[in-house]
Amino acid sequence: MVDLDNASVYRQFDKSGMLNHLHEFPEQCQKAWEKVLKFELPREYTRISNIIILGMGGSAIGGDIARRLALAESKLPVWVHRDYGLPAFVDASTLVIASSYSGDTEETLSAFTESLRTPARKLVITSGGKLKHLAENEGIPAFVVDYQAPPRAAFPHNFVPLVGIFQKLGLLRDKSADLQEAVDILNKLSREFMETRSLTSNPAKQLAAKLWGHIAVIYGAEMLSEVAQRWKAQFNENSKAWAFFESFPELNHNAVVGYEFPLEAKERIFVLMLRSSSLRSRSLLRYEATAKLLAKTGIAYEFAEARGESALAQVMSLVLLGDYSSFYLAMLNEVDPTSIDAINFIKQYLAQSVVPSD
């Protein structure tokens, strides 16, 4: 197994500098918050009855987590749309938020272009590309990200601005104190997860070592369900590894029955349960019962505990642990975490197709 305490490993496999983005994560959260607080929304944007966030992959997961936070505080429905086109409910009382880091995401552009034919209010979060050009041409407010990174590594700029926008719209109460708590915790955790911290005292390295050679299945409840989805995607993209996620309580109504077969899977599956003391007591009981079933079936598992008091801090603390763990798993798999050859193949294949986009 690759020695994660050997500095040459990072020079050898992290050819595109993903580690630098991990180092900058807390700072970028702070910068994104300061920027969104200065971002002005048209006054009429507060007169809406629903919100739909358009996005894919790393640009959409921020919307998923922000939506979950809003569910706890707002009566306004928020929908995350990962597809072409638009749902039929979009109307003059809808706020459409198109989130694409590159600004060239095919599905997001399809949905946003369709939204231009509706009376819905519109907003864009992007670093450039066609989406920024469309917004400028149509006079649509755009929150422009000025951080250069792969979309998944730009999570602070895909998530934190949405928290600030939701606050301005009245969906969330003032999150300034929670954001500061989150940044403080992220700075502390960064020191714990840093590559210079040895395996014996580095939780992210330890988790990656346990996952090496296994298929990660990530469980989460309530606000941690979307974080589990983030972990799954990070293990896919950074580690080039199979990974899946499930949500409590739904998984207790089906997934737990499937632990038995195939027998060979028991040796390869590793279940990660993202947990927080802030979850409902019944949810926490489900974690306990599920752990007992996993142990009885002989499937390896581990809990990953959130840090902090606020929901915002807890969510972001686990996001950072997942990001670092997926990076270290990439090192163990001896791959560049930034490369996305499979995704690029799909894009090229679609580009060569003569079938018109819908």
Query: Alpha-carbon distance 190 to 300, whole Å?
Result: 27
CA distance 6 to 198: 9
**Residue 198 exposure: Cα atoms within 13 Å on the Cβ side:** 2
Q: Is 187 exposed, middle or buried (0-12, 13-18, 19+ CB in 10 A)?
A: middle
Q: Is 253 a catalytic residue?
A: yes
CA distance 96 to 79: 10
Find out whether 218 and 225 touch, Cβ atoms under 8 Å.
no
What does DSSP assign to residue 278?
Answer: T
Cα-atom radius of gyration of the chain, to the nearest Å? Answer: 20
Residues 6+ away with beta carbon under 8 Å from 260: 297
From the list 31, 188, 214, 347, the catalytic residue is 347
Among this protein's residues, is 23 annotated catalytic?
A: no
Which one of 222, 226, 237, 246 is the catalytic residue?
Answer: 237
User: What's the CA gap between 3 and 331, in Å, rounded?
Assistant: 9
Q: Is 123 helix (H, G, I), strand (E, B) or coil?
A: strand
My answer on whether omega of the bond before 249 falls inside 30° of 0, hence cis, is yes
Task: Tell me the β-bridge partners of 301.
Answer: 271
Determine whether 175 is an active site residue.
no
Residues 245, 193: contact at Cβ < 8 Å?
no
Contact 226, 65 (CB under 8 A): yes
Catalytic residue among 253, 260, 264, 296: 253
Task: Give the separation between CA 343 and CA 339, rounded to whole angstroms.
Answer: 9
Task: State the Cα–Cα distance between residues 259 and 177, nearest whole angstrom.
Answer: 42
Q: Find residue 248's DSSP bridge partners.
A: 221
DSSP state, 154? G
Residues with a catalytic annotation lie at: 237, 253, 347
